[in-house]
Amino acid sequence: MAITTVPGTRREPGRPASPYPAGPQRTSLGRKVRDNLTGHAFLIGAVICFGFFSWYPMIRGVVMSFQRTRRGVTTWVGWDNYDRIIGDPSFWAAWKNTFYFTVLALVLGYAVPFFVAILLNEFRHAQGYLRILVYLPVMLPPASALFLFKFYGYDPSDAGLFNSILKALHLPTSQWMQSPEMTMPAMVIASTWMNMGGAVLIYLAALQNIPGELYEAAELDGAGIWRRIRNVTIPQTRLILALLAMLQIVATMQFFIEPLILANGTGAEDSATSVAYLIYQHGFFQNDLNGAAALGVIMLVVLAGFSAVYVRLSSKQD
Amino acid sequence: MSVPQYRKAAALALVAGLGLSLAACSTKSDDAPNDASGKVTITVDCQPVGSQKELLKNWNDDVVEFQRQNPNIVIKSVSVGEQCNNPPDFTARLAGGTVTDVFYGYMTDLQQVLDSGQAMDITEFANKDTVPTWDSVDPALKEVFSDGGKLYAAPVKNYSMGLVYNKVLFQQAGLDVNSPPKTWVEVRDAAKKISALGKGIAGYSEYSAGNTGGWHFTSLLYSQGGQMLTADGKKADFNNATGKQVLQNLKDMRYGDKSMGDRQLLQWGDLLTNAGAGKVGMFIGAPDATQAIVSQFRGKFQDWAMAPLPGQDGAAKGTLGGGEGYFFKKGLSPEQVKAGLKWIAYQKLTPGKGQFDYVRAKPQNYPVGLPQPLLFANGSEAQKQELELRKANANVDTANFAIFEANPVPIKGEPRNAQAIYAVLDAAMSGVLTNPNANIDALLKTAEDKVNKLLAAES
């Protein structure tokens, strides 16, 4: 007897037969919803939350970036807000600072946690305590941590913590946040100290998944510690490294609290102004919510580019 | 109940709960303007916070007494923090439409409040019927809160800036506390002597962040005879000799004399914290800066005195005047506006009541005797009453403000879009205070370009 199949109901190899009768009603929306009522019900909550708190504000931001509100009257102004924002001298300063911060944070904030994780991984005893120690700064509220740096670490007088250390070592002291050259490195140091705990734990988890035999084999082949790192550790954690790099880029490009607290905003001659802070300044200090929205959209587009890379990497990992 | 059914029930309960939560979130305030008994309800902000126990009690007592005198009015107080107008919070409340019916704002906020579409025209309601002292209120202050001939707020405070100085440090540096500097050259000399005391003391201290740098640049510019904007308000007018002199004076003190201390990028609280700790010899400020130093930053009243703002070679040609008022939210009923004005009249504009209840303030050690809030016109009846009460109940040494009061400097108001302009000028101020090689011409040119763009966008 010939076997006939209804389109859409053909049984895939290894998949159990559907308990529902085949037929046109199988594809109706109502039926689909009823089939997965639990899933859809849970989905509604998430969709409402995302809708209200993420998607709607985003769409509203894009709309606002093409509008101007004056005297309570909102009008469409095309690209005017974008023209004005791009023409603001602080716009380019902010992007320059943001990229500079991102690169520095990538060099320092990316490499340091990786090597700290490798170091921690080598410890056979007290690893739990050390992990807590490394993670402690993450538990400190960021504002408190930054005030510590501001008032004690980066005090420009000789009484400042870092300056007294430099002085004790007979090295030149720094003006820290008051020096346009030192503003960015100082913010990256503080930011790295605050945030590296999380990255260290992720790296540590990845490191502990590397089979021990690989290291043993490498050792038998006469590989020293650097060769083991280069030929075993880095290739085995390559994907995690790449994903964290992308996440770090997206996160650090939105840095805000560092200039707000360490530099009281823009810092010396715009040396601390980040794109996120410039958005805040336009929106909350310059009576320019529409300009702030335009700058937000520009930032969204740039970050979307990096996020696209991240998504591609994620799918590769899958 | 089978497991799948149980899950379904849980999911439905979750959705129903979420729906209810959202519905609850979207529920509007139940403060109906008029209730069944015919009472008018208004919400008012700037109620002192819980930590300001005596001020809060005073406010609450005032509410009780006011409601007793006006049984048809209900005042609902809202606290918005210790600083009634922290610009970012204020902007968020305006943009979100969550300002109270009667809300506090700076004189510089008029443009922003109008743009937000939240301001109500109160011209027809502000009169002797609602505010008995209305005719005594300085017309210049009413003008500041007006636009196109319409009044949008009732002024409740006014100040002008002068030179605030620490008498203790003056004495330690061998300076005469009764002869404070009259010119910027004299300020430089005095600052050098005070900073020579060491111990991290700044002879003169100045703001350069959080909009306060631009605020003080404006006052310093006025002292030189300059103006922030051209007469038509369409262009920046500070990139000239007067603007350069302002920044040059600061740069010379900071890097030539090294008399301004190491810590810069200061904003309001930073400078006053240092002042309260006895680390600042002089700064420019309003009389109530001394009040903040004492009440918030643990300084002592008797340490501080005030002189008029210095000029470059002689008396200052002008000083910055500013102040505060209460706006009215658009959409209020006429009864609510009248009720709000009556409350402001009681709490802010009546000698002997509210902020002028000097008999109550005196034993509480809130300063009585400061040359502020300068609300009533010279020679007006309300001014006479207020001055008499102030004199009779003074608990601060009024001699500390005698030089300031005896040498009035012409007061100039803040420029249009002041807060936005101040934000721009912060960069020029921070430039000369943090970079020994700062190019003053370039700093002013950049600020000028930015302000011109900002003004063009507004027009």
Q: Is A42 on the interface with B (CB under 8 A)?
A: yes
**8 Å CB contact of A266 and B443:** no
Closest chain A residue to B90, measured at CA: A284
Question: CA end-to-end span of chain A, whole Å?
Answer: 42
User: Per-residue confidence of chain A (318 residues) as pLDDT tens digits?
Assistant: 343 433 444 444 444 444 444 544 456 777 777 778 888 888 888 899 999 999 999 999 999 999 998 888 999 999 999 999 998 888 999 999 999 999 999 888 788 888 898 888 877 778 788 888 888 998 999 999 999 999 999 998 888 999 999 999 999 999 999 988 999 999 999 999 998 898 898 888 888 888 888 888 988 888 888 888 888 888 888 888 888 888 888 889 999 999 999 998 888 888 999 999 999 999 988 888 999 999 999 999 999 988 887 777 767 655
Tally of CB atoms within 10 A around B200: 16
Residue-wise pLDDT for B390-436, tens only, equals 999 998 888 999 999 899 899 898 898 888 899 899 999 999 999 99
Q: Which among B18, B118, B267 is the nearest to A48, CB-wise?
A: B18
Q: Residue B135: beta bridge partners?
A: none
Among B residues 75-104, those touching chain A with beta carbons less than 8 Å apart: 87-88, 91-92, 95
Residue-wise pLDDT for B221-240, tens only, equals 999 999 999 999 899 999 99
| A174-187 as b/e: b if 16+ CB within 10 A | bbbbbbbebbbbbb
| A222-254 as b/e: b if 16+ CB within 10 A | ebeeeebeeebbeebbeebbbbbbbebbbebbe
* Alpha carbons B429 and B247: distance in angstroms, whole number: 7
* Alpha carbons A42 and A52: distance in angstroms, whole number: 16
Give the per-residue pLDDT at B133.
97
Q: Which among B200, B264, B446 is the nearest to A89, CB-wise?
A: B446
Tell whether domain A83-317 is in CATH 1.10.3720.10.
yes
Among A residues 198-227, those touching chain B with beta carbons less than 8 Å apart: none
How many whole angstroms from its chain centre is CA B110?
Answer: 13
Tally of CB atoms within 10 A around A98: 23
Give the per-residue pLDDT at A2.
40
Q: Residue B164: beta bridge partners?
A: B283, B306
Among A residues 136-155, those touching chain B with beta carbons less than 8 Å apart: 155
Q: Residue written as tokens 């490499």?
A: A111
| B278-309 as b/e: b if 16+ CB within 10 A | bbbbbbbbbbbbbbbbbbebebebebbbbbbb
β-strand B411-412 against B319-328: which pairing, if any? parallel
Q: Is A84 on the interface with B (CB under 8 A)?
A: yes
Q: Residue written as tokens 């962040």?
A: B209
Closest among B238, B225, B223, B243 to B182, alpha carbons compared: B223
Amino acid B144 reads: V
Residue range(s) of every CATH 1.10.3720.10 domain in chain A: 83-317
**Backbone φ, ψ for residue B31 (5° rounding):** -80, 80
- The structural domains of chain B, ordered by start, are 40-160+322-398 (3.40.190.10), 162-319+415-458 (3.40.190.10)
Q: Is B260 on the interface with A (CB under 8 A)?
A: no
Q: Is A176 on the interface with B (CB under 8 A)?
A: no
Give the per-residue pLDDT at A99.
95
* Residues of chain B found within 8 Å of residue A286, distances taken between Cβ atoms: 419-420, 423, 454
Give the per-residue pLDDT at B7.
52
Give the per-residue pLDDT at B12.
45
Tally of CA atoms within 13 A in the half-sphere of B8 that contains its CB: 10
The residue among B279 and B365 whose pLDDT is bigger is B279
Q: Is A33 on the interface with B (CB under 8 A)?
A: no
The residue among B109 and B82 whose pLDDT is bigger is B109
Q: Is A35 on the interface with B (CB under 8 A)?
A: no
Closest chain B residue to A178, measured at CA: B434
Closest chain A residue to B93, measured at CA: A284
Asked if the ipTM is above 0.95, the reply is no
Closest among B376, B436, B4, B403 to A180, alpha carbons compared: B436
Give the per-residue pLDDT at B146.
94
Q: Which helix (H) or strand (E) holds A228?
A: helix A225-228
Which of B434, B439, B450, B454 should we substitute to test contact with A (largest number of A Cβ atoms within 10 Å)? Answer: B434
Residue-wise pLDDT for B307-335, tens only, equals 999 999 999 999 999 899 999 999 999 99
Q: Is B114 on the interface with A (CB under 8 A)?
A: yes
Spatial CB neighbours of B92, under 8 Å, sequence gap ≥ 6: A284
Predicted TM-score (pTM) of this structure: 0.83
Closest chain A residue to B6, measured at CA: A38
Q: Is A163 on the interface with B (CB under 8 A)?
A: no
Q: Which two tokens stand for residue B244?
A: 């350069």
- State how far residue A219 is from chain B, nearest Cα, in angstroms: 54
Give the per-residue pLDDT at A310.
74
Residue-wise pLDDT for B186-219, tens only, equals 999 999 999 999 999 999 999 999 889 999 999 9
Among B residues 16-45, those touching chain A with beta carbons less than 8 Å apart: 18, 22
Amino acid A56 reads: Y
Give the per-residue pLDDT at B27.
36
